[in-house]
Amino acid sequence: MNMMRFSSLRAAALLCGISLCGLSVPALAQGETVDMHVDTDTAGGEVIDRNIFGQFAEHLGQGIYGGVWVGKKSPIPNVRGIRSDVVAALKAIHVPNVRWPGGCFADEYHWRDGVGPASARKVHVNSNWGGVPEANTFGTDEFMDFANQIGADAYVSVNVGSGSPEEAGDWLEYMTAPTKTTLAKERAANGHPAPYKVAILGLGNENWGCGGAMSPDHYVEEMKRFAHYVHNFNPEQHTANQMKRVAVGWDSGKSDYTEEVMKAWASRVYSWDIEGVSLHNYVVGGWPPHLPATGFGEDDYAASIREAFNMDKLIVRQTSIMDKYDPSKKVFLSVDEWGAWLAPTPGSHEGFLAQQNSLRDAILAAVNLNIFARHADRVKNANIAQMINVLQAMILTDGPKMVLTPTYHIYHMYVPFQDATFVPVSYDAGRYVHGKDSMPRLDAIAARDKEGHLWLSLVNIDPNNAVSIHLDHATSATGQVLTAPKVDAVNTFAAPDAVTPQAVKIEAGAKGLVIDVPAKAVMVVRLD
Ligand code: AHR
C-alpha cells in the first residue's frame, strides 16, 4: 500500500472540498500494520496555538450557576463563590481562555447589571435560554476572578445586537483602565484596583440570527464602529499582549459574513481593525438536535463522527475566502463555538441544553482538535461549547457532585500540544465505512513541545477493529489511551471512571516500535 503524505491529502481535500473525500483508499484489513512516518526533518512547522483549546461559558442552564458559581455562603467548597472542585479540574487542563458571557446571551447582556453589590443587581429574564430569572450574581468581577483562579485569559463578547458602542466602550474602560478614571475607580471600589487583562474581544455573536438578524452589510457597519470605539486601556496590553478583536464570520452559508467582513477589512482605514473572524459549527445531525447522547449504537456513532470531519471542509472554505483578502494570514479564524449538540437529557429543561457525554464525543473532540492543528496557520483560537453542564461539556455537576467527562480527558491528554510545533505525519489512513457513512479510519497528528519532546496523537475511529502502527525512528512511546467497551460509554456520578485514560508504555522490539491502538480509542504518546 502506498504511503501518502498528509500534505498531499490536504491538497486533495482542497480540490474535492472534504478531507480524504473521493480518494479510493482501500480499507485496512483487521490486524494490518500501518507504517507511519513522523517527519522530524521538516523544519519550520506552524505553532499549534494553545488558544485552540479554549472553552466557552455562557449564562445558559447550569453552565455558570451551579457549574461555576455556587455563592459565597454555599456548603460546596468555594473561593469567593466559585466552586473549588471545578477550578482544580480546569487548572489541570490548562484552559487558555474562556469565552463569556455568550453566545446569544451576550447580545442581550448589559454589563452594568452585573457589577456592584450583589443585592442591588438587576434580575432579568434570560430570554434566550429557558426564560428563567438571571440574577446577575455572576458578573464581570466574578468572571475575571474565575478566569484568574483557573489561570485562563478572558475572551469577552460585547453586545452588538441590542447594545451600543458607548456601552461596550464603557465596559472595556471599567475592565482595563488604570485607576484614574471614574469607571476604573468604580472597579477599584468593587474590589479590583488593577486593570484586568482582556485578551480577546468578540464583536457580537451570530449577528445574522440571535444577535440582531443583521444583513452582512449592516453588521459590517456596526462592527466597524465597535472596533473603533471599544478601547483596551490596560498599559500591559499596549505593546505586548495586545487584545485581539474577533468579528462575526460564517453564517451557515446563508450569504457569508466572512466574505463581507474580509472585504471591508481589506479596505480598512486607520480608525479600525480586527485580528480574527469567527466560525461556529456544531455536529447536530439536523435541527432540532436529536442525536442521542446515550443508548446509541454504531449507526449514530458513524453518522456523528462523519459529520465531525465536515469541520475540515468548512475551514478550507473559510480559509479560501480569507486568503483572497488576506494572503499573508494576518487575520485568524476563531472557531469559537463547536462540538456535539445532542438530544437533551430526558427530564431536563429543554432550554438548558443539558446532555451526557460519551466516548463517541471524546473521539469527536480529538478529530476536531486534530483538524484545528492541521490548520494552525489560520486557526488560532477555538472554544468548545460549552465548558460545564451545557452541550459537549468538560464537567457535569449536580449540587456538590462533580464528574469529569470523556471529553475532559481528551483535553487533559492534549495538553502537550498547547503551543507545540506541528510536525507532519505520513500514513495510510484507510477507511472506516458503515452503511452510507465513510470516513478516515485513522487520524493522527504530531508536534514537538518547547522542551523538544515529540508527541503523537492516534485516533482509531473504527469501533470494531484495533490497528497496529509501526513507527520508524522511535524506540519507545509513553502516554495514555482513552477507550471503553462501547462507543456510548459515559461517566456518571455513580461510576465516574467508566471512561478514563489508561497509561501506556511501549518499547521497540525486533520489528521496531509497534503501537497497538484499540478500536474506538484516542492515544497520546511521547515518542523517544
Ligand atoms: O452554544 C449555544 C448557542 O449556540 C449560542 O448561544 C449561540 O451562539 C449558538 O447558536
Q: Which of 158, 205, 355, 390 to mutate to test the pocket of ligand 1 (most atoms within 8 A of CB)?
A: 205
The DSSP string of 43-93 is --PPB--GGGGEEE--SSTTSSBTTTB--TT-SS-EETTEEHHHHHHHHHT
CA 396 – CA 474 distance, rounded (Å): 39
- Domains observed in the chain: 2-45+423-527 (2.60.40.1180), 50-419 (3.20.20.80)
**Nearest CA owner, ligand 1 atom 7:** 103
pLDDT per residue over 374-426, tens digit each? Answer: 999 999 999 999 999 999 999 999 999 999 999 999 999 999 999 999 999 99
pLDDT at 230: 98
Query: Quick one: pLDDT band at residue 42, thresholds 50, 70, 90?
Result: confident
> Under DSSP, is residue 173 helix (H, G, I), strand (E, B) or coil?
helix
What does the pLDDT average to over 295-302? 98
pTM of model > 0.85: yes
Is the shortest distance between the CB of 101 and ligand 1 below 6 Å?
Answer: no
The residue that leads in pLDDT, 19 or 418, is: 418
Instruction: Identify the bridge partners of residue 513 per DSSP, sorted by sequence position.
Output: 471
206 is catalytic: yes
Does residue 12 register a pLDDT over 50? no
Residue 494 Cα to ligand 1 middle (Å) = 30
Nearest CA to ligand 1 atom 5: 103
In angstroms, the CA 484 to CA 283 distance is 22
What is the predicted pLDDT for the residue at 30?
A: 52
**Minimum CA distance residue for ligand 1 atom 2:** 103
The residue whose CB lies within 8 Å of the most ligand 1 atoms, and thus the one to mutate among 56, 58, 252, is 58
Is there an atom of ligand 1 within 6 Å of 385 CB?
yes
The pLDDT value recorded for residue 180 is 86
pLDDT of residue 489: 98
For the question of residue 236 being annotated catalytic, the response is: no
Q: What per-residue confidence (pLDDT) applies to 14?
A: 28
pLDDT surpasses 60 at 19: no
Q: Which amino acid is at 169?
A: G
Question: In whole angstroms, what is the distance from residue 286 CA to residue 1 CA?
Answer: 37
Has residue 24 got a pLDDT over 80? no
Ligand 1 pocket test: which of 108, 129, 337, 383 has the largest number of ligand atoms within 8 Å of its C-beta? 337
Q: Categorize the per-residue pLDDT at 31 as very low, low, confident or very high, splitting at 50, 70 and 90.
A: low
pLDDT tens track for 316-326: 999 999 999 99
**According to the model, what pLDDT value does residue 5 have?**
31
Examine the pLDDT at 49 and tell me if it is beyond 80.
yes
